[in-house]
Amino acid sequence: MSELKILLRDEQRNFRGGDTVEGVAGWRLEKPPTSVEARLFWFTRGKGTEDVGLVNQVRFDAPQQEEGRKFSFRLPTEPWSFSGQLVSLIWALELVAEPGGDTARVELIVSPTGQEILLHRHASA
Amino acid sequence: MRARDNPFATARVHRIRYRFLDGLTWEDLLARLKWMRWRGAIVGPEGAGKTTLLEDFEPRLREQGFEIVWLRLTRERPRFAPEMWRKLSSELFSGRFVLFDGAEQLSRWAWWRFLRHVRPAGGLLITSHRAGLLPTLLECGTTSVLLAEIVADLLDEPAAAHRAQARHLHQRHCGNVREALRELYDLWSEHVTSARRSKELRLRQSLLRRQLKDEGPVCDLLPLRPWPL
């Protein structure tokens, strides 16, 4: 069974716009990979149709069946991580290995405060 | 409640795959479709799982050696763009299988035009609200028991706990499971939010009671602003 992992520097998950997210992508795959990519993106989750925005991606050169590679992404200032009752916007890093489409994902918070913006809390304040 | 935590969020609902009601198996269904020379229709009302079933066909048809071509029309986008018609004419051959969601959107004339264009394809499976466009492969339907099972899966609870509510919802939405689950999203969101408000109100009342009994300063513990009711 293949295993993929994303380890973030200092296990940091909360960021401000413009920060750099750094870490190590590790994998142990059943078959030699044709490609391994780390992707930085956001997506929405909630009641309606989901949106997704790919912000940056890194394709690791000549990936081996088992190894770890460093990565680094500079985060944009927006969109912010937020949640209301109808929709949440979630930032994530994903590691994808082909063939097979095995993935690993970690979720991040990106906002001016480094905390998720909670719309219902603001609305009722 | 945050939308991301709602058990009835679209992403979670989409993870629930089609369930056969009458003991049918995938082997039976694929054999039937093959016997129909790979041309058929999945028919049923809105929210009965037609699109989910069509999506579930994709990996199984790939296993049969087909390349899949997806086509989708909706009430909001009921026509193919001119370049799509050109692509259909030029890119279909016997190794390609067309999965077409929302065939009822095409007018009668457009449907016949479509059939001419997809003739070279190795297979064609459509979803439609009405029968008659192609021979019916399967008629989709729902039951309140099915809805209860889906709700139970989403909440990770036994189905028996949801039968009564599912019966009521299924009836109210005329069997449209998608709409029933959307209503549950709202109900869940409101329920958790009001539960949280009640909890905070109880906390506030107990703090005020302590203050009245002069048990010491509690102002630091109170929320900064009054909770709106």
For B223, the closest chain A residue by CA position comes to: A125
Asked whether residue B201 carries a pLDDT value surpassing 80, the answer given is: no
CATH of the domain at A7: 2.60.40.640
Asked whether residue B103 carries a pLDDT value surpassing 90, the answer given is: yes
pLDDT, mean of residues B91-118? 95
Other CB atoms within 10 A of residue B179 CB: 15
Asked whether residue B137 carries a pLDDT value surpassing 60, the answer given is: yes
pLDDT band at B158 (very low <50, low <70, confident <90, very high): confident
Binned average pLDDT, 10 residues per bin, chain A of 125 residues: 93 95 95 94 93 95 94 96 95 94 95 92 58
Domain hosting A16: range is 3-124
The CATH number given to B22-139 is 3.40.50.300
Query: What is the Cα–Cα distance from A35 to A121, expressed in whole angstroms?
Result: 43
Dihedral sign for Cα atoms in the order B198, B199, B204, B210: positive
Domain boundaries, chain B: 22-139, 145-221
pLDDT for the residue A123: 60
Is A26 in contact with A4 (CB distance < 8 Å)?
A: yes
Q: Does B182 touch chain A (CB under 8 A)?
A: yes
- Tell me if A47 and B225 make a contact (CB, 8 A cut-off): no
- Tell me if B6 and A46 make a contact (CB, 8 A cut-off): yes
Mean pLDDT of chain B: 87
How many domains does one find in chain A?
Answer: 1
Over residues B76-98, the pLDDT tens digits come to 999 999 999 988 888 999 999 99
pLDDT for the residue A74: 96
pLDDT band at B1 (very low <50, low <70, confident <90, very high): confident
pLDDT, mean of residues B170-174? 94
Facing A88 at nearest CB: one of B4, B185, B186:
B4
Asked whether residue B218 carries a pLDDT value surpassing 60, the answer given is: no
Q: Does B82 touch chain A (CB under 8 A)?
A: no
The per-residue DSSP string of A24-82 comes to EEEEE-SS--SEEEEEEEEEEEESS---EEEEEEEEPSS--SEEEEEEEEEPPS-SPPE
pLDDT band at B159 (very low <50, low <70, confident <90, very high): confident
In chain A, residues 65-124 whose CB comes closer than 8 Å to chain B: 83-88, 90, 116, 118, 120, 124
pLDDT band at B225 (very low <50, low <70, confident <90, very high): very low
More confident residue, A41 or B190: A41
More confident residue, A82 or B198: A82
Structure tokens at A82: 């937020």
Facing A87 at nearest CB: one of B3, B182, B228:
B3
In chain B, % of residues over pLDDT 90: 72
* HSE-up (13 A, CA, CB side) for residue B78: 10
pLDDT, mean of residues B24-49? 96
Q: Helix B177-212 vs helix B163-172: angle between axes, to the nearest 10 degrees?
A: 120
pLDDT for the residue B195: 66
pLDDT for the residue A48: 84
Other CB atoms within 10 A of residue A116 CB: 20
**A&B contacts, CB < 8 Å:** 45
- Tell me if A85 and B4 make a contact (CB, 8 A cut-off): no
Asked whether residue B221 carries a pLDDT value surpassing 50, the answer given is: no
pLDDT for the residue B206: 66
Q: Does B193 touch chain A (CB under 8 A)?
A: yes
Alpha helices, DSSP H, located in chain B = 10-15, 26-35, 50-63, 82-91, 108-117, 144-155, 163-172, 177-212
